[in-house]
Structure 1
Amino acid sequence: MDRSFPWATWSLMLAPVTIVLHELGHLLVARAVGFPNPTLHFNSVDPGTAAGLPPAALGLATLAGPLVSAALALGACAWIFWRAASPWATALAVTAASRFVVGVPYTIVNVGAWLIVSQLAPPEFDEYKAGVALAWSGDALLAGTSLIPVVVFWTVNRRLRAGERAAAWSGLLIGTTVGWAIWLLGAGPALLP
């Protein structure tokens, strides 16, 4: 049997779970802060009308998803650091952190643009929108969450045995990518339009 199979299998199963948990974070906090009819979709939450709600309510609802993803990734890293780099724990850390990967290149390019000319146009990332709504720096919040994949990579790589790194990483990356694709292109829209 291929040595990457357990890593890929866990990642494939957990990628959709971490996506749904991220979106449930948005949904539950939107309800808690007073949005009357938030709607859960396969890759987003429509909070509904914000009439009469302070901007901070939208900020908290928007920040909730990234906080759930960060808690899952960092909690799995704690398990890996103090216990072992088991396939399920590393898959949870990697799939949860995969939500933040796209923020890494944006943050790097934005810092370069800021040093040379000015900042880039505002992005559509949850962290950025939450920061603006909460009167924080959206760029700083996005940069902070961009560190999560770095922490996950470092923790997982440090705890994997040298002889299993190639198989583990190939399984984790393939499983996460296929899990995202299955959820976003098929299962998600069928279950949560």
Structure 2
Amino acid sequence: MDPLPEFKRVMSLVAALALFTTFTIPLPAQASPIEAQALLKWKSNLGNHSDSSLSSWTPSPRSATSSNSTASPLIRINLTSTYVEGTLDEFPFSSLSHLMYMDLSINILSGHILPQIGLLSNLTYLDLSINRFMGKIPPEISHLTRLTVLHLVSNELNGSIPQEIGQLHLLNEVALYCMSTTTPFLVIFLLKWEV
């Protein structure tokens, strides 16, 4: 069976769903100043964001050092289909420990998926699909013990799928196809039940 028609069908569905999702994530008015400043620093390292939803990310008039008892942690980032360019090198992993949902799919992000991704220990949803990430999947991804969805489709990742992913017992949706891995695709599903 030729996997190309199935891949095209899946990609058409992804594109259709992207049209109906919310593309903007303005920095929440009640977000902590530390989180806001950290994200603005990352934004400054990205390219092609003038027409994207990132253009709404602006500094708050509050001082970054001010105390704000009404601040709530940032729990969701959705930048799907904004076509921003850049890397995760300056992404504020350590400042976003409450983040639960991160969708950076369908962009022009490149470089490596950094081991610091394991610091986002509250993530339940992670989608880095359809970018240009390369290298290996870091084993630190196993620190995301609350993860239920993991999508790394259509990147330039290589190497084996880390066995540590099998420790993510809450995973119920995994998409790793179209990667140049040395581990067969079905192994990821076997790892889930063997652990």
TM-score normalized by the length of structure 1 = 0.29
Select the structure with the greater relative contact order (CA < 8 A; seq sep ≥ 6).
1
Normalized against structure 2, the TM-score is what? 0.29
More strand by share: 2
